[in-house]
Amino acid sequence: MGPTNVALVGYYQADQLVRAAQARLDTVTKDVRVQERKVNELLEKQKLLSANHNEARAKAANLELDIKIRTEHIEKLRTQQQVARNNKEYQVFLIEINTGKVDKSRVEEETMKAMQLAETLEAEVKQSNALLDQEQAKLTEAKGKIDARRKELEAEIAALQPHRDEASAAVPPRRRSCMTSWPIVSKAKHWHPSPNRTAETKNTCAMAATWSWRSMSTIICTRTTIW
């Protein structure tokens, strides 16, 4: 067997070790990743609730200020009405006062709605904060349980990676297209090669696969039959 095929098989073996270790790491950290997504979703919900709560409070405060200004204006009109020089002038003030009262009542209704909304959102924010604290505690606990195993697998991957890089560098550049679609061993039966590969590339990889079958029994031998 030529050196190119030997290099391809060497890379395949090193790559499978890295992939297998990564698969074990993914399995170990699955629950943590699920919990992290849950915490992140709650964080986004909390941000939205907090923003809506602050907006409702600001709106209620502005409306209360509006009511205060309208009340002062009505009182000023009443003072002016008391010194009206004639009935016509008195009626003008009266109409303006009544109009001001109607507008004030409308603003008061809006203020009550805004305050109620702010109170509702405040309760939801507190509830969301409590739930977030619970889920963050669960996340911390989950991370603690797998911390030792996670570090062990990460160290294993870090140790295997240089060997895979070295094996990859040993493969001639024109043959590296064979390496891009190698599956992990456990999923080899579901793998299908790219229809665009050249016949020469397929033959080279098939030769490497045949050699691997003899030495590794069940790794890449299926490539010779599915191409």
For the stretch 159-203, pLDDT in tens is 888 888 888 888 887 666 655 555 544 444 444 444 444 444 444
Mean pLDDT of the chain: 78
Average pLDDT over residues 52-69: 95
pLDDT of residue 187: 44
0.85 exceeded by pTM: no
Domain 26-163 CATH assignment equals 1.10.287: yes
Closest alpha carbon to 1 in 163, 212, 168: 212
End-to-end CA distance of the chain: 20
